[in-house]
Structure 1
Amino acid sequence: MLELDGSYGEGGGQILRTAIALSAITGQPLRLYNIRKGRRSEGLAPQHLKAVQTAAHITDARVDGLKLHSTELFFHPTCIHPLNGEVDIGTAGSITLLLQCILPILLHAPKSSSFTVRGGTDVEWSPSWDYFEHITLAALGQMGASVEAGLLMRGYYPEGGGVVSMKVSPSHIHISPREFERSDAPIAGNVHSFALPSHVPERIRDAAATFLMQHGHPAHIALEHTRARSVGCGITLWSGLLGACALGRRGLPAERVGRMAASQLLKEIKSGASVDVHLADQLIPYMALSGGGEFVVREITEHTRTNVWTVQHFVDVECTIERTNELYRVCMST
């Protein structure tokens, strides 16, 4: 049985999601201890619990320690089968983080999966739904993954209730190493809002577009007046495999929300990177499973280092990180 210290590196949900996914795919039983050790609320939170429950259902896994606030977990998968029906996180827990755990597994299922997920689509400390759809899935598509995703309803904090649809085709035999190259794609984006005056999303859009234009980058940013259970708004911007997002909140001026996202994206564009700092850590498990790959990123985050450490316990791959000027080239190979 493979044993991993869940407090290593980033020490949060990242190790849990990656380790469970790779345990399921490789068939290696896993003991994960010190889960989220030292966090304000240690152990499994509701969204982590649902991710492991769903992975266990997909793999007919034997699991011990599957309870709220548990800091130790035993996971023993036996097979992989498709997922159909609905996964309900039950809170505003992040849908995109749950998908980080189960999507790699479903790409290795023998048949296609078709399911919905209910929870938070646009919440703090996680990729927005638009980021997942336009950046994460675009990158996986370049590697050969076949995934269709659709937004049915937004889910903001605190009520959640967002719904997305997913269709995942078996793709593991088609996923291949990829050298991700820089793209000069035009900037696009989306501003979404619910139960707010129409001038709020308009100000977010205009502030982002003005900031980018002042730096020589025109952008086409759409407005989406959406359905949700809670008041909320946000913006996601993207250019190729570079992206940025920001959420509105009470007391935060709309103009600041727009400029936050725009300045984040501009930093990525000006760096010359091929992928942004958030996509980098998401790609690591897929690169390991495909046997290699390469990208250039402006910063190596603790999430990325933690994912590299985690995958190397399951898959026999080498990862080199080479600094060139102000960028980092990450190469993975067998």
Structure 2
Amino acid sequence: FRKISCLSALLTSGSDHTGFGFVFTQGGQILRVSAALSCITGSSIQITKIRAGRSTPGLRPQHLSGLQLVSDLCSGSLQGASIGSTDISLTPGKIQSGNHTADTQTAGSVCLLLQVALPCALYADAASQLCLKGGTNAEMAPQIDYTIKVFKPILEKFGIHFDCDIRMRGFYPKGGGEVMVTVNPVKELQPVTMMERGNITKIHGRAYVAGVLPFKLAKDMSAAAVRTIRKEIKELYINIQPLQEKDKAFGNGNGIIIIAESSTGCLFAGSALGKKGVYADKVGIEAAEMLLRNIRHNGCVDEFLQDQLIIFMALAKGTSRIRTGAVTLHTQTAIHIAEKLTEAKFTITKCEDELSSNVTYVIECQGSGAANPNL
């Protein structure tokens, strides 16, 4: 058993071997990365002190359904898997293709279910169909639109191909969303180099309302976002489509996602969800400011994609290099777990950038070259 504690660890990274001492607070992320890597490498893991510092410690429904999905994918033996459990262990078996279903039965994010299941399904012997149920547009998680429009095209650079069909959108608090994902297996992952940002060439997005909410909210979110971006980026046409989700939405919800594309194929996003009592303008402005923040640093990925790519860099055969803005705690956590469970070696180097007053970093990884034994 590899033992991982969700409470504390020391991470050493960077070319100057700076030691970062920090407390892990991303219990869910540690579970996702370590469970996926356990499944792929065949190593048994024990995870302790899960979300121990939280007001509701231990596993929540979305964590539990993600772990059960991985265990199902790899015919594994999962111990301690119940709501509120702070200790679990997973002993993986052989990764199985075919149909797999996970249902959070809440508004827990389907995108976080995909984050844990996708890497595993890549190492199956044939295509896998994942039926994921819960929230498609949920707080504290990527919106499904981000997964399709940003995460998916960048993963294709690693040689990863999956299709994602939104059957039903689901929102907080009821969930009720459903996506069908088809994942094709790979023999091995290719390393990726993303070092040159280039110029921003296109900005587009969608501002949506669902259920009983008035269409005016979508128009207000879109207009406020465009106004905010215009203050900083004047030369580009900005197309944020206001939309009324009709047939394919369960419950009421509103939100916005805005995507920027660069001349070298980099993608960045800003998004926000509507909440009770929050003006639509404010939701649009929040998404626009998030996008602008992610464009300013002149890196090649936004703050949300950064940590999601770590597991794929660790598994790829060869050296990956990705230029980013400030390295997030989520990324540091993912690196720590990836180095613990694979042969991958990461370094983080600070770059001075003549084009930007902001500092950028290069995350470099000598990948472990995990080959698919089932193909």
TM-score by length of 1: 0.96
SS at match of 1:154: strand
Q: Is this contact kept in 2: 1:10–1:303, CA < 8 A?
A: no
Q: String of CA shifts for 1:303-328, please: whole Å, max 9, x gaps.
A: 00000000001111211111123111
Q: In structure 2, what is the Cα distance between the partners aligned to 1:223 and 1:210?
A: 15
- In structure 1, the residue matched to 2:17 is none
Give the C-alpha shift of residue 275 in structure 1. 0.1
Q: Is this contact kept in 2: 1:119–1:162, CA < 8 A?
A: yes
2:220 corresponds to which of 175, 180, 203 = 203
- In structure 1, the residue matched to 2:346 is 319
Q: In structure 2, what is the Cα distance between the partners aligned to 1:315 and 1:70?
A: 26
SS at match of 1:251: coil
1:26 corresponds to which of 36, 41, 50 = 41
Give the C-alpha shift of residue 85 in structure 1. 5.0
- In structure 2, the residue matched to 1:289 is 315
Q: Is this contact kept in 2: 1:10–1:306, CA < 8 A?
A: no
Give the C-alpha shift of residue 87 in structure 1. 2.4
More helix per residue: 1 or 2?
A: 1
- In structure 2, the residue matched to 1:224 is 243
- In structure 2, the residue matched to 1:64 is 79
Q: Is this contact kept in 2: 1:11–1:35, CA < 8 A?
A: no
1:233 corresponds to which of 243, 249, 254 = 254
Q: In structure 2, what is the Cα distance between the partners aligned to 1:77 and 1:307?
A: 20
Q: String of CA shifts for 1:181-206, please: whole Å, max 9, x gaps.
A: 42534111111211211111000011
Q: Which amino acid aligns with 1:311?
A: A
Q: In structure 1, what is the Cα distance between the partners aligned to 2:251 and 2:47?
A: 35
Q: In structure 2, what is the Cα distance between the partners aligned to 1:316 and 1:36?
A: 27
1:214 corresponds to which of 231, 238, 244 = 231
Determine if the alignment matches structure 1 residue 242 to structure 2 residue 259.
Answer: no
Q: String of CA shifts for 1:278-301, please: whole Å, max 9, x gaps.
A: 100000000000043111111111
Q: Which amino acid aligns with 1:4?
A: I
1:329 corresponds to which of 352, 358, 362 = 362
Map residues 125-204 of structure 1 onto 2, 5 A cutoff.
125-173=140-188, 175-180=189-194, 181-183=196-198, 184-194=200-210, 195-204=212-221
SS at match of 1:186: strand
Q: In structure 2, what is the Cα distance between the partners aligned to 1:16 and 1:330?
A: 22
Q: String of CA shifts for 1:242-276, please: whole Å, max 9, x gaps.
A: 11110011111111111111111111112111000
SS at match of 1:84: strand
Q: Is this contact kept in 1: 2:123–2:186, CA < 8 A?
A: yes
- In structure 2, the residue matched to 1:84 is 99
SS at match of 2:136: coil
Q: Which amino acid aligns with 1:129?
A: I
Q: Which amino acid aligns with 2:193?
A: E
SS at match of 1:114: strand
- In structure 1, the residue matched to 2:370 is none
Q: How many residues align?
A: 333
Bigger shift: 268-277 or 85-94? 85-94
- In structure 2, the residue matched to 1:265 is 291
- In structure 2, the residue matched to 1:277 is 303
SS at match of 1:37: coil
Q: In structure 2, what is the Cα distance between the partners aligned to 1:22 and 1:47?
A: 19
Map residues 77-116 of structure 1 onto 2, 5 A cutoff.
77-84=92-99, 86-116=101-131
Q: String of CA shifts for 1:58-103, please: whole Å, max 9, x gaps.
A: 1111111011111111100011011415322211100001111011
What is the aligned-residue RMSD (CA, Å)?
A: 1.3
TM-score by length of 2: 0.86
Q: Is this contact kept in 2: 1:29–1:74, CA < 8 A?
A: yes
Change (3 A) 1:185 1:167: farther
Q: Which amino acid aligns with 1:104?
A: P
Change (3 A) 1:85 1:34: closer
SS at match of 2:222: helix
Question: What is the percentage of aligned positions where both structures have the same residue?
Answer: 32
Q: In structure 2, what is the Cα distance between the partners aligned to 1:268 and 1:185?
A: 15
Q: Is this contact kept in 1: 2:77–2:92, CA < 8 A?
A: yes
